[in-house]
Amino acid sequence: MGERAGWLRCGLVGAGAWLALAALRPEEGGDLAAIEALLALHLLCLTPLLLALWPPRGGVWTRALWLAAAALATGSALLGPAHSAAASALALPWVGLAAWLLGEALGEWGFTYRRWGLLESDSAGLRAVSRLFLLVGAGWLVFSRSGLPLPGLDAEKILLAAVHAHYTGFGALSLMALAAWRAGPGERRGLLAAGIGLGVGFGLTGAGIAFSPLLEPLGATVLAFALATYAALRLPQALSLEGAARALSVLSLVGLALGLCLGLAYAARVLGPTPLTRAHMIHLHGVAIGLGFLLCGATGALLGEARERPGPLLLYDGVCGLCDKSVQWILNHDQRAQLRFTPLQGETARPLLERYELAPAGEVDFDTVVLVGPGDRARVRSQAAFGVLLHMGGVWRLLGHLGGLVPRPLADVGYRLVASNRLRFFGSLDACRIPRPEERVRFLP
């Protein structure tokens, strides 16, 4: 919970900064100022809350990069001319942050895809695509700050492209990734299709706004179907929560429904007159999606699902000297304190070994280490060891990725060689190690 709590604190600080900026912003700023306010809300408040759902590596350094990038990107419109080379340069750190987050997400998705295929890696894939949209939005932001013209796009439309990429792309797909992580196989297929539909709809809508008005209602319809699919699959998960988490998650879906209705009504203006203007959409649609859908959705998830989500569980030989030293090493290097532990001899391990058919005829292979999670997956022997390294920091994580490239049969040969000789070189313990008081919450019987 440490990294998640750190990003949550960032979101609260960002919300306070956004309110302060809103109080200082002149009321006569017009539509462009209102779009800037929506963008600032995402950069300062919604981005850290959404990152709290899937905390990136780097700890306090990544949060410091977010703080500097968000402050410069939002301040670039206040410190001087909103459209200038200087303003564009001040927004560049946001591109750097987005690129860093995308690279990390692509690495995680690549590992899960190679091991389990497309469907089983859908949550990581959706998370990677969400951060791709964050990078796209950052690019539009830099271009908007530069003041350079684009055919068919005025300053408001260019800035709106940045806002839509942040809200509809990064925000919605981040929540989809969380829903996919919680869903069963059938629901995951639906969420994966919704993610693809969201990307297609976003592209069609953007092309319609810039070049062909007839494409806009088509894109809006595809977006609506994609997000409606997400809402239908997310609703049972939201209703299974309790208290404030349940209320906020349901309110998030209400905000999404309202935003979808407004978006479809506005897109239909190319077919006939509509009472909705761009000014109406900026304020009404922005509130529905920003404060309703994303803010309530991320907060509800943090209160409920993300908080309750258990970390991966490592099953190890509780009386092996090498295993004991390995667990101690993990405790010292697991920066996010995610991994939990249980001995193969314990009561927690038995049903898990039976579930994953790792104890044929009730016989437990104590030479085997098992990593259960993330999700409903179990890795054994060398793959479990590489999976553990992915939860470490620095060079250890890199070694985990490199180890994943080694063919599994070859990696298991090395693992079995060490495992078969571990008691000879490291000895055995008379009983399972008793964890220290501060470690007990991470050990299961």
Which of 268, 289, 308 is at the close of a domain?
Answer: 308
299 with 358, same domain: the answer is: no
Q: Find out whether 250 and 238 touch, Cβ atoms under 8 Å.
A: yes
Burial classification of residue 393, based on how many CB atoms lie within 10 Å of its CB (0-12 exposed, 13-18 middle, 19 or more buried):
middle
Phi and psi based region of residue 383 (left: phi greater than 0; alpha: psi -120 to 50; beta: remaining)? alpha
Q: Report the number of distinct structural domains present in the chain.
A: 2
**What pTM, to 2 d.p., does this model score?**
0.70
Burial classification of residue 382, based on how many CB atoms lie within 10 Å of its CB (0-12 exposed, 13-18 middle, 19 or more buried):
buried
410 with 267, same domain: the answer is: no
User: Which string of b and e fits 181-207 if b means at least 16 CB within 10 Å?
Assistant: bbbeeebbbbbbebbebbbebbebbbe
Instruction: Measure the CA–CA gap between 438 and 443, rounded to whole angstroms.
Output: 10
80 with 137, same domain: the answer is: yes
- Which pLDDT value is given to residue 99? 94
Which of 253, 283, 308 is at the close of a domain?
Answer: 308
382 with 425, same domain: the answer is: yes
138 with 223, same domain: the answer is: yes
Look at residues 253, 301, 246, 236 and name the one whose alpha carbon lies nearest to residue 50: 301
- Which pLDDT value is given to residue 172? 92
174 with 32, same domain: the answer is: yes
- Which pLDDT value is given to residue 181? 77
- Which pLDDT value is given to residue 47? 94
317 with 301, same domain: the answer is: no
- Which pLDDT value is given to residue 443? 75
Q: Show the domain range for 219.
A: 2-308
- Which pLDDT value is given to residue 45? 93
267 with 348, same domain: the answer is: no
- Which pLDDT value is given to residue 100? 92
364 with 236, same domain: the answer is: no
Q: Where are the alpha helices (DSSP H) in 268-348?
A: 278-280, 286, 296-303, 305-308, 321-333
147 with 216, same domain: the answer is: yes
154 with 286, same domain: the answer is: yes
Instruction: Measure the CA–CA gap between 370 and 385, rounded to whole angstroms.
Output: 8
Which of 274, 308, 342 is at the close of a domain?
Answer: 308
How do the pLDDT tens digits run along the chain, 445 residues long?
A: 557 778 888 998 988 888 887 776 655 567 777 888 888 899 999 999 999 888 887 778 888 899 999 988 887 665 555 677 888 888 899 999 999 999 988 887 876 676 566 656 677 888 899 999 999 999 999 988 887 877 767 778 888 888 889 998 899 999 998 888 777 667 888 888 898 898 888 888 777 766 777 777 788 888 889 999 999 988 888 888 888 888 999 999 999 999 888 877 777 665 666 676 667 677 788 888 888 899 999 988 888 754 555 678 888 877 666 677 777 777 777 766 678 888 877 777 777 777 777 766 556 666 778 888 765 567 788 887 888 887 776 677 778 778 777 788 887 777 777 777 666 655 555 555 556 655 666 777 6
Amino acid at 45: C
238 with 100, same domain: the answer is: yes
Burial classification of residue 214, based on how many CB atoms lie within 10 Å of its CB (0-12 exposed, 13-18 middle, 19 or more buried):
exposed
